[in-house]
Amino acid sequence: MPTLLLVNPAAGHGRAPRVAAEAVAAARACFGEVAVRETAGPGDGVTIARDFARQGLTHCLVVGGDGTAHEAANGLLQVEPHQRPAFGVIPGGTGNDFAKLCRTLGKKPADAVQGLAHGTTRVIDVGWAWGETFLNSVGIGFDAEVARVVNASESGSGILAYLLAVAKVLRYYEPFDLELEANGERWTERVLLCEVGNGPVVGGGFRITPGAVFDDGLFDVCVVKEQSILGILQKLPLVMLGKHTRLKGVRSFRTTRLCIRSRSGPLRAQFDGELRATADTMELTLQPAALTVLIAPA
């Protein structure tokens, strides 16, 4: 059966089609029959991945960023477990956080394809909230606003784009009140952000949930309480190193389920970099061993 090469032409401010052009020949050399499909708008990746999986795919390769991977995974997880193909990402987006798991970040497109073809596989957990799957993280608050600014800008990709957005958002962002419930406890905090990590890195290089492991059956949660701008700037280098979790004003814990309620209007969240604002309550649950991921050699 064919391999699907799913391309988001808008990813990476238009960089993904150039990446795909270099990846196609390598994909056909490594995987045989390859069907190349481009998304035409939001949600297309879900439909394309789901429909091809139902026809019997062996592999689904994504050329794009975390948002494209997010859509493809949501499509694949709509089919029965035995129909789900192995899934891999060739980075062509802005943050490319999930590509770090696939070990394709920093590789040339052809090398990334060859690595996915000749590497190993790993069966990972996924998260579920607001009727959709997420692969890497859900971020509520400051994190989501930074993602909105990055998505609306033309400031490049990677950690620099996110740092520029952080500097902009710091000028106007207001903390908000959250009620959180997990592990038999319920409490209320005035917070800057709440990050629910299935993986350790968001925003191209921020290790907000540094202990998160994709296949340990747990979410890692980091809640950063209300901070002054100076406090945020002091913590930012430590966040990039993943050394912030025991600082004053930071609460970290692990759980399989988390309920979040806003006391300040609808929750604004990013799901793998995709923006959502659906309701004032969110319940997040973990689905263990849900997706097989292709991992290139180290």
Residue 40 belongs to some domain of the structure: yes
Per-residue pLDDT, 10: 86
CA distances from 34 to 55, 120, 291 (A): 14, 20, 21
Contact 177, 262 (CB under 8 A): yes
Among all chains, which residue has been given the structure tokens 């070990």? 103
State the CATH number of the domain containing residue 63. 3.40.50.10330
Q: Around Cβ 260, how many Cβ atoms within 10 Å?
A: 24
pLDDT of residue 199: 97
Q: Which residues, 6+ apart, have CB-to-CB distance to 40 below 8 Å?
A: none
Asked whether residue 65 falls in the same domain as residue 183, the answer is: no
The answer, yes or no, to whether residue 13 has pLDDT greater than 80, is: no
What average pLDDT does this structure show over 270-280?
Answer: 94
Flag whether pLDDT at 212 surpasses 80.
Answer: yes
- Calculate mean pLDDT across residues 232-257: 95
Model pLDDT, residue 93 = 87
Q: Residue 39 domain-assigned?
A: yes
Res 7: pLDDT:
95
How far apart (Å, rounded) are the C-alpha atoms in residues 294 and 72? Answer: 14
Residues 113 and 179 in one domain: no
Distance CA 213, CA 208 (A): 13
What are the tokens at 234? 């002091």
- Residue 175 and residue 90 share a domain: no
Q: What is the pLDDT of residues 171-181, one digit of tens each?
A: 999 999 999 99
- Compute the average pLDDT of residues 281-294: 98
pLDDT for 156 equals: 66
Residue 8 banded pLDDT, cuts 50, 70, 90: very high
For residue 216, the model assigns a pLDDT of 98
Cα separation, 94 vs 67, whole angstroms:
9
> Which domain covers residue 63, as residue numbers?
3-118
**Choice among 8-12, 22-26, 36-40, 71-75 with the minimum mean pLDDT:** 8-12
* 262 and 149 part of one domain: yes
173 shares a domain with 43: no
Residues 159 and 284 reside in one and the same domain: yes
Q: Is 126 part of any domain?
A: no
Question: Does residue 123 lie in a domain region?
Answer: no
Question: Residue 220: inside a domain, yes or no?
Answer: yes
Same structural domain, 75 and 150: no
Asked whether residue 75 is assigned to any structural domain, the reply reads yes
Residue 83 phi, psi (nearest 5): -95, -10
Number of domains in the chain: 2
Q: Are residues 66 and 193 in the same domain?
A: no
In this prediction, residue 95 carries a pLDDT of: 80
102 and 235 housed in the same domain:
no
With cut-offs at 50, 70 and 90, classify the pLDDT of residue 155: low
